[in-house]
Amino acid sequence: MIDFRKFLPLILLGVLLLLVFSMCGTYNNAVKKDETVKAAWSQVENQYQRRADLIPNLVNTVKGYANFEQQTLQAVVDARANATKVTIKADELTPENIQRFEQAQGALSSTLGRLLAVAENYPDLKANQSFLDLQKQLEGTENRISVERKKFNDTVNEYNSYIRQFPTNLFAGIFGFSPKGYFQSAPGSEKAPEVKF
């Protein structure tokens, strides 16, 4: 008859090693997913910075039209300044910080929309090649922002799902992995715009 008590220390050591290797794998996967979220956030910031860099050129092009509404131009300049003040470090991607960032960028989008709408009243400006080029670049940048925000949300979803799954959730809090925030759609965007002819 085999006496299993002799093998108990080896069995316990084997279980302990299995647990340690499992923890290491879980930790390494969480780090990898966290870094992917940070990289995606960096791409979001790059596209917002691209937009912020285009705005002074757009404002300077529009300023050349003396009777253009100065209040609209000033609103764009102010919104850009406010939007560039709101920055979030990749380690601070909480839902509250994402919402604060999103509000600042939304205010800038809104004032840019007003600027472009007012520009419709100036036929010479609408025919200006520099203005048209900047308008196209802004439209392209808005599309890039949308794409990068989606990629960011996808990586955050993968990360948040991973750290909430069992047994990862047992180690996530111990190692400081907490859920990240998502970009949300703007309030009212679920309703289709009403078109009247």
pLDDT beyond 80 at 65: no
Quick one: DSSP state of residue 91?
Answer: G
Q: Select the more confidently predicted residue: 66 or 62.
A: 62
What structural domains and CATH numbers belong to the chain?
A: 35-172 (1.20.120)
Q: What's the pLDDT tens digit per position in 95-118?
A: 999 999 999 999 999 988 888 888
| Token pair for 69 | 């509404």
pLDDT beyond 90 at 7: no
pLDDT beyond 70 at 181: yes
What is the pLDDT at residue 145? 93
Query: Among positive and negative, which fits the CA dihedral 21, 22, 27, 28?
Result: positive
Q: What is the pTM (predicted TM-score) of this model?
A: 0.78
Q: What's the pLDDT tens digit per position in 143-178?
A: 999 999 999 999 999 999 999 998 888 888 888 899
Q: Select the more confidently predicted residue: 197 or 63.
A: 63
Average pLDDT of the chain is 85
Q: What's the pLDDT tens digit per position in 116-133?
A: 888 888 877 777 888 888
What is the pLDDT at residue 23? 78
| Token pair for 155 | 């990586």
Most confident residue range from 3-12, 154-163, 179-188: 154-163
